Amino acid sequence: MSDYAIIGKRMPRVDSRAKVMGKAKFTADLQLPDMLVGKIKRSPYAHARIINIDISKAAALPGVMSVVTGKDTAGMKWGVFAYTRDQQFIQTQKARYIGDEVAGVAAIDEETAQKALDLIRVEYEELPPVFDPMEAMGMETELIHKDFPNNINIHVNIDTGKVDENFEQSHYIREDTFVAPEESYFQAEPYAVVARFDSDDCLEVWMPNGGPHMKSKPLSNAFKIPLHKVKVRKIAIGGAFGGRSEICPVDYICALLAKKTQRPVKIKFTREENTIATRQGHAMITTHKTGVDKEGRVLARETTCYMDGGAYSSTGPIATSVPFLSMEQAYRMGSVRYNGYRIYTNKPIRGMIRVHGRSFAAGLDTQLDMIAEYLSIDPVEMRLKNSRQQGEYTSTQSFVASCAMDETIHKAVEKSGWKEKFGKLPPFQGIGMGTNSVQTGFPMGIRGGSQAFIKFNEDGEATVLTGVVDNGQGNDNMVVQIAAEELGLLPEDIHLVSADTETTSSDPGSYSQVSTFVGGQAVQVAAKNCRAKLFEVAAKVLKVEPSTLAAKNRLIFVKDDPEKSIPIKKVVRISLLNFKSVNAEGGYWPKVDMKREWVSNPHGQMCEAFSFGTTIVEVQVNSSTGQVKVVNATAAQDVGFALNPLVLEGQFEGSIAMGGQGGMLTEYHEWKDGRCLNPTMLDYKLPLACDMPKIDSIMVESVDPKGPYGAKEAAMSIAMSAAQAYAAAVSNAVGVYMDSFPLTPDKILAAIKSKGGKKLG
């Protein structure tokens, strides 16, 4: 590993300077000539039939350039899968949540656009709404979607067999239920879209996205135009966290207004719209039943999870499955049965999120602690007895080629001082741990692979073209590092063209944690192919075999005689003088089971690599106020290989913030009759820098055999294990196993009062 010149080294991100100096352009910053302001008319009712829409007064208002309704669309419905296509981009028959899109306007300025919205008259017939998923399944009035009985959007059933038999053989069985409400991504950048049709009638569009190619295809389908006529352009993106991977109605509405007016249109969400009209994390009710032997090894587990999916399917089958998959990847078990139900309600739409289900993950580890206490086993030993090992298969038959779960546990335990603290801390101080796993990708059909192209310029610098998108996690930097390492250049010599559907080949985007594993590997292959062409030319000049050469610091040299060298710039110019350009392509497609499907066949190789993480948290609880002070967080993850430790530390810290400090202490939504009461940053309690604890980051390197340089997903295992650790630490501090998340002061005070603060452990 020490032979690498750039890979594995701490280096500032290539986009850092532009962002800290305010030079990076986000969608809301774009200003195009003759650009109009777009606005969206939204339903004030949670469930209502649309009888009539009168746009005449709005259309007649001076300064209004266009008003569109569902009648102006091709009637396409959106859903990630064919069997979940249930959402029109502009509703024509029903509004299914407060905020559902019913019309759009484009005007010369924001004030005129807002006046036009007020002039649109919509006649509704109110229908009985339902906001609780359990009530929705027994709803006797009109279904939210007529083709989904009992309002069940998705049912994922996984049964590996012999579950009941292994329960009968278990020494001890527990069954517990855990609950958690919805949560939001709350990206710092509110959603904004700019769209225009050019002189060739091609759609150009800028928006936050998790994968430009994942946006262009739905837009192509919706407008019934060839795919090459949809150009999703690169733009700086202020975070995604799972929430910007699929098309949103605003993308389509903005483009439709641009088509109608033949002028650029920008729609910029308010903070409230950014909460209710994009995606949210699912509310969940999770019941875990676990049977163990006398030593604490899990023999059988049965989990039933009811998920509030909101009004439409979104990424329903994936979101219903991933919490279970993360569990089965992290822990070995004799047999398992899972029933996940995603249920329609008259609330905003739920989708993928970085922390896949607080009640699911935190509930699972809380129950393991309960079992450990009953068996008088240390929580560390409880996890080590059940942790995933390298070379094993998961319950649904995915081979685990690399795994350092145990090492993450041991290193986190040592760094945090677990042995000196667990069971020995003063009253209302506690320590807890969580362990989790995340898949590095999943089957995505023809969009599962990535292609990259590299060309050398005559000055010896190189341009990389890749579909990889950067949502703030450092993917641009990752691509530049890989290309520079393989080509023997410096990072400043690499010029990046990325995340633009017109110039780059297909790529899954920063979706399912594959940017480094798939997109980065495609760049690595392209760079190696390009380097081979350089070596072929340099070998003739140096009179050696290409196999004896290496590249570093802008030079190509003989490995056994470094003084014998030639500048890369000179090699490029020699090649051009011989009428040969230096360029190459490369691609990578992960070896997964393409027959695996979320609902119909949830078995087979899910992905090529899995990450594993452990978080340990130490807390102090104020017994008078119920407030929690986090003293320290220790985060250890098997990252395969750390391409840039500096970037990974930032990702670890963000994971602790989202999964633990915010996700388990303060973040949740409040509702009244389907209306979100805390959609803005004034009332939705996000953690600030001053709220964050001291964080010790530990990168464990298992060197995955398939990943580029051995790298795989990094940081999402920390986000989920942080949720588990926060729950465990607070439970340990107050003497009560908490089963309702987040752990707000009122819940903590009620727990202290109910049990008298008896210490756990």
Check residue 1 and give its pLDDT: 44
DSSP 561-604: EEEEEEEHHHHHHHHHHTT---EEEEEE-----TT-BTTTB--S
Check residue 355 and give its pLDDT: 85
DSSP H or E segment with residue 534: helix 521-542
Residue with tokens 């588990």: 724
* CA dist., res. 425 & res. 423, Å (int): 6
Closest CA to 546 of 102, 537, 554: 537
* CA dist., res. 159 & res. 136, Å (int): 26
Closest CA to 159 of 598, 602, 604, 605: 602
DSSP 2-40: TT-SSTTS----TTHHHHHTT-PPBGGG---TTPEEEEE
Backbone CA torsion sign across 641, 645, 648, 654: positive
Closest CA to 306 of 133, 105, 53: 133
Give the torsion through C-alpha atoms of 461, 466, 469, 472, to 10 deg: -20
- Residue pair 729/431 in contact (Cβ under 8 Å)? The answer is yes
* CA dist., res. 740 & res. 736, Å (int): 12
- Residue pair 154/341 in contact (Cβ under 8 Å)? The answer is yes
Check residue 393 and give its pLDDT: 97
* CA dist., res. 49 & res. 95, Å (int): 6
**Residue 393 identity:** Y
Burial of 692 (0-12, 13-18, 19+ CB in 10 A): middle
Check residue 446 and give its pLDDT: 87
Closest CA to 724 of 321, 180, 158: 180
Half-sphere exposure of 655 (CA within 13 A, CB side): 35
Mean pLDDT by 10 residues, the chain (761 residues): 86 93 96 98 98 98 98 90 94 97 98 98 98 95 94 97 97 98 93 96 96 94 96 94 91 98 98 95 97 98 98 95 95 95 98 89 97 98 98 97 98 98 97 97 91 97 97 95 98 97 93 94 98 98 98 98 97 96 96 96 97 98 97 98 97 96 97 96 94 98 97 95 98 97 98 73 50
SS (H, E, C) 390-436: CCCECCCCCECCCCCHHHHHHHHHHHHCHHHHCCCCCCCEEEEEEEE
Domains and CATH numbers, the chain: 16-23+445-588 (3.30.365.10), 31-127+189-238+244-276 (3.90.1170.50), 283-443+596-755 (3.30.365.10)
Start-to-end C-alpha separation, the chain: 42
* CA dist., res. 223 & res. 351, Å (int): 24
Give the torsion through C-alpha atoms of 158, 159, 160, 165, to 10 deg: 160
* CA dist., res. 83 & res. 1, Å (int): 47
Check residue 760 and give its pLDDT: 56
* CA dist., res. 466 & res. 708, Å (int): 16
Please state, in angstroms and as integers, the Cα–Cα distance from residue 498 to each residue in 463, 486, 529, 572, following that order.
10, 18, 19, 23
Strands of 298-310's sheet in order across: 152-159, 335-344, 298-310, 283-292, 172-180
Kindly give, in sequence order, each residue whose CB lies less than 8 Å from that of residue 543, ignoring residues fewer than 6 positions away.
none
